[in-house]
Each structure stands twice: as C-alpha cells, then as structure tokens.
Amino acid sequence: MSVSDLLNTAAAVWNNPDFIESDPISVPHRFTRLQDREIMGFWAATLAWGQRKTIINSALRLSELMDHAPYDFVLNHEESDRARFSDFKHRTFQYTDTLWFLHWLQEYYRQEQSLETAFFRHMSPGDVTVENALSGFHDRFFDHPYAPARTRKHVATPARGSTCKRLNMFLRWMVRKDDRGVDFGIWNRIRPSQLLIPLDVHVDRVARRLGLLSRPQTDWLAVLELTENLRKFDPGDPARYDFALFGMGVSS
C-alpha cells in the first residue's frame, strides 16, 4: 500500500465521531454557540498535554467554574468572580495563567464577535500557511504591560521555534470542514489549505517512519516540512492527515 493510500485509509478511520468522547475536542462539542465553542476549544487545546482523560477533566472543571456558560461568564463576570478559580490548576497552568486568560478573553469579546478575527487579522492575502496568524495572535495576547511572563509558555509562537501543536490543533478544530462530524468548521476566513499539522510525539514518530519528516529537530521547521509533504496528497486539506498520523501513533 502506498503512503498516500495508507494515510487516506487511516484518516477515514480516525476522523470519526466515535473517537470524540476520548479526545479533548469533546469539550467544545458540549456546546452549540460559536463563542462557547471557541472559548472552550481554545482552553481545552491550551491544556492539551498529558493524559487525554486528565485534559478533558481539567477543561470540564473550567466549564463548571464558568457555570457551563463560558461566553456569558467571560463577557459579564466581575473581577471578584475570578476568585473561584484560585484552586484550579492543570500541570503548570495555574491561577495566574487562568486570571490572564479570563482578563484577555473578556477584553477581547467586548470588542469582537469571534476569536477568528484575533488570528485572521494578522494574515495577508498571499499567506500559504497560518504562520503569521499564530505569531500575531501570540503578540496580541501578551500586548499589555501587566501580561504575566510565566503565561507565555502556554501560548506558543513560531518566533520561538515552537511546533505550536496546541494552537494548530485548535485551528484545525475551528477551520476544517467536512461531513464527518468531528471538526467544527465554524470559521470561514482562514482556509483549510492554510492549516498546519499539530506535531506531537505520536505524529512525529509515525511521520518519520513513513518518510514524511527528515528534519532532526521537532520544531517549527519540522511542522512546515511535514505539512508541505502532506500537501502533496491533499493540497486543499493537509491537516486532514492529522487524524491518520495521530491515530496510527496512539494505536501502535
């Protein structure tokens, strides 16, 4: 079987609603409102390192603390309401980080209707990928004299050479459009063809085994190399193969 056939077969298997329950994407799937899905998707993706069950439980705890109405809470809560998050933590994501996320999201949604704008405004018409969107989002997220330095490790940027795995995963959730029922496809200005592969240890291992990744380091340039190679199989939707690479990685 060719690499292309293998990837297409595996993608069809794993791009399946049956796997939603055990994946962090299950958290935004609990909501129907665009902004609720954005907020919980962004937060679930941000927390997505470690065991998936723990990630899901942490994200659901955040939802509970926001009265299971994230957009309403973000938009309307008072500063005193943030005290309820004082005991929340997920690995190195702690109270200081939560406070900044709440502050930033409230300021943002009081001006904008969708989080897509925070990414898309940094893109140019000729952009092949979302690289500028990721860099620009990071810079805007911390463009405040009181932005905590420690929180920067939770929002990646290509400028630091990071794979930006969690942000690329979040963008995949929001942008990709198909009839499989997993990704939401609720953003329209960023194109699926511009998405980049969320590169983690599972994807990295399988990609190298299949000859799709040769760069020694697992970094931003590796993301670009892998996505470019996958674009040869599907120029309009290279991130579709995230299902294949991740699925083969976790099942092997």
Side chain identity at 77, as an amino acid letter?
Answer: H
Angle at 101 between CA 22 and CA 23, to 5 degrees: 5
DSSP 24: G
pLDDT of the chain along its 252 residues, tens only?
899 999 999 999 999 999 999 999 999 999 999 999 999 999 999 999 888 999 999 999 999 999 999 999 999 999 999 999 999 999 999 999 999 999 999 999 999 999 999 999 999 999 999 999 999 999 999 999 999 999 999 999 999 999 999 999 999 999 999 999 999 999 999 999 999 999 998 899 999 999 999 999 999 999 999 999 999 999 999 999 999 999 897 776
CA–CA separation, 241 and 7 (whole Å): 7
Q: In this predicted model, what pLDDT tens digit does every residue of 113-129 receive, in sequence order?
A: 999 999 999 999 999 99
Residue with tokens 């294949």: 244
For residues 187, 193, 197, 198, the Cα torsion angle rounded to the nearest 10 degrees is -10
Contacts (Cβ under 8 Å, ≥6 apart) of 172:
183, 195, 198, 239, 242
Enter the tokens of residue 38.
Answer: 């954005």
What pLDDT, on a 0 to 100 scale, did the predictor assign at position 252? 65
Give, in order, the Cα–Cα distances in Å from 168 to each of 74, 86, 146, 188.
Answer: 23, 29, 26, 16
- Model confidence over 27-54: pLDDT tens digits? 999 999 999 999 999 999 999 988 899 9
Q: What is the pLDDT of residue 223?
A: 98
pTM, full prediction? 0.97
Angle between helices 95-109 and 34-46 (to 10 degrees): 150
Q: Structural domain boundaries of the chain? A: 3-251
Type of residue numbered 53: K
- CA 128, distance to chain mean position in Å, is 19
